[in-house]
């Protein structure tokens, strides 16, 4: 009996639909025979919000929660549009999904594929993964302000860290490192953020005793950015807080060929909720509709999705096809040309 994968697809705004269309073609092509992808499209995004006034309500969430997985392109409109300020779409859609679907692992692999130029003069071997916490830290929305707009305004942001939340992502970090090259680096700022940092450090120290094969290392977040540009080869698995992970993964994407190639997974490892896969890049309204967007990050997100669903062979085939395509790229190609080339290389 053929397995059916119930997939929610949120193409989103800007270049989102273009890259998702290529990614879906690759997905359908690679599972051919082994599984059937039953894709349901959802209109969520900045465009949908501007048309309907709705971002994502409880019924939408319930619908999405019923699928096996979610594939998202990119959301976000014109950053100068006053109706979209303050990250209303980012928080109302992307972050809302991460919290509602308990995506406590934000998984961001970084690999400098052969043939891809890096801004670094001598990048060396770049192949690591960032396990970013996804449901705590300064992202919880527990800030507040008083006397707003007056000379006496005070605006606070609260980073919330729990033993429960830190331990589960740290465990995932150790599992990941154990399956890779056995090297886990905790990144934090323990010398300043002593309470949160202490919890993270003690949790890593304790869980480490269960993983004698994993070497553990610690870096302050500022020092980590230095090593990402001077010696990225030292990294295998990084485990870190939500905000530090946000910063480090954009830098990691930059050194490995840009966010046009970076895939990510918002993962609920327990399987209680569907996980969501998306390119790290945004909706890039400036180049939307011109066939200029690189669908590679979206296609690599499909590989992560396949891996998550237990289709490891299919995932490996997609990654290999991307690697083959990147190794032989020359000249500018359109979105659909890249998609077709990767499909052909499958």
Enumerate binding residues for ligand IPM (CB under 6 A). Answer: 90, 94-95, 191-192, 222, 246
Bridge-based pairing of strands 105-111 and 127-133 is antiparallel
178 lies in the site for a copy of itself, by CB under 8 A: no
Closest CA to 132 of 264, 301, 300, 257: 264
Rounded CA-CA distance 338/250 in Å is 23
- Residue 225 or 334 with smaller CB distance to a copy of itself: 225
Of all helices (H) and strands (E), which one includes residue 335?
helix 335-345
Catalytic residue among 13, 60, 104, 189: 189
* Residue 87 near a copy of itself by CB under 8 A: yes
Tell me the angle at which helices 312-327 and 335-345 cross, rounded to the nearest 10 degrees. 120
Judge whether 282 is annotated as a binding position: yes
325 is catalytic: no
Interface segment toward a copy of itself; rule CB under 8 A; list 38-46, 82-90, 270-278, 328-336: 82-90
Closest CA to 188 of 136, 152, 150, 142: 136
Residue with structure tokens 């053929």?
A: 2
Shortest Å distance, C-beta 160 to a copy of itself:
6
> Site map for a copy of itself, 110-149, x if CB under 8 A?
--------xxxxx---------------xx---xxx-xxx
For residue 307, indicate whether it is catalytic.
no
290 is in an annotated binding site: yes
Tell me which residue of 204, 288, 294 sits closest to 241, measured CA to CA.
204
Catalytic site includes residue 139: yes
Which of 1, 59, 82, 150 forms a contact with a copy of itself (CB under 8 A)? Answer: 150
Is residue 223 within the footprint of a copy of itself (CB under 8 A)? Answer: yes
Annotated active-site residue in 32, 231, 250, 313:
250
What residue ranges bind a copy of itself (CB under 8 A)?
86-87, 90-91, 95, 118-122, 138-139, 143-145, 147-164, 167, 189-199, 202, 221-223, 225-226, 229-230, 243, 246-247, 249-251, 253-255, 258-259
Q: Residue ranges for the binding site for substrate?
A: 98, 108, 132, 222
């Amino acid at each position: 009996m053929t397995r059916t994968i119930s997939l929610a697809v949120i193409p989103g705004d800007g270049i989102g639909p273009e890259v998702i269309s290529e990614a879906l073609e690759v997905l359908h092509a690679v599972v051919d025979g082994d599984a059937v992808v039953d894709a349901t499209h959802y209109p969520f995004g900045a465009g949908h919000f501007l048309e309907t006034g709705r971002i994502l309500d409880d019924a939408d969430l319930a619908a999405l929660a019923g699928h096996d997985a979610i594939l998202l392109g990119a959301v976000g409109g014109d950053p100068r549009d006053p109706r979209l300020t303050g990250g209303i779409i980012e928080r109302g859609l992307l972050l809302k999904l991460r919290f509602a679907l308990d995506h406590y692992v934000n998984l961001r692999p970084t690999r400098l594929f052969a043939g891809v130029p890096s801004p670094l003069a001598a990048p060396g071997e770049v192949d690591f993964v960032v396990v970013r916490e996804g449901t705590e830290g300064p992202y919880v929305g527990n800030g507040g302000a008083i006397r707003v707009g007056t000379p006496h305004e005070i605006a606070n942001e609260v980073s919330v860290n729990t033993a429960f939340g830190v331990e589960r992502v740290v465990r995932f970090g150790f599992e990941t490192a154990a399956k890779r090259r056995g090297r886990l680096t905790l990144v934090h700022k323990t010398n300043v953020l002593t309470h949160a940092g202490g919890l993270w450090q003690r949790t890593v120290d304790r869980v480490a005793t269960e993983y004698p094969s994993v070497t553990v290392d610690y870096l302050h977040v500022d020092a980590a950015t230095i090593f990402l540009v001077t010696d990225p080869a030292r990294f295998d698995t990084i485990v870190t807080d939500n905000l530090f992970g946000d910063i480090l993964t954009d830098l990691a994407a930059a050194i490995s060929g840009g966010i046009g190639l970076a895939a990510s997974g918002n993962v609920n490892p327990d399987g209680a909720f569907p996980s969501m896969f998306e390119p790290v890049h945004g909706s890039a309204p400036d180049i939307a509709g011109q066939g200029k967007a690189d669908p590679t990050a979206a296609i690599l997100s499909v590989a992560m999705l396949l891996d998550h669903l237990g289709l490891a062979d299919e995932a490996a085939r997609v990654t290999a096809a991307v690697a083959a395509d990147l190794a032989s790229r020359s000249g500018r190609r359109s979105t659909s040309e890249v998609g077709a080339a990767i499909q052909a290389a499958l």
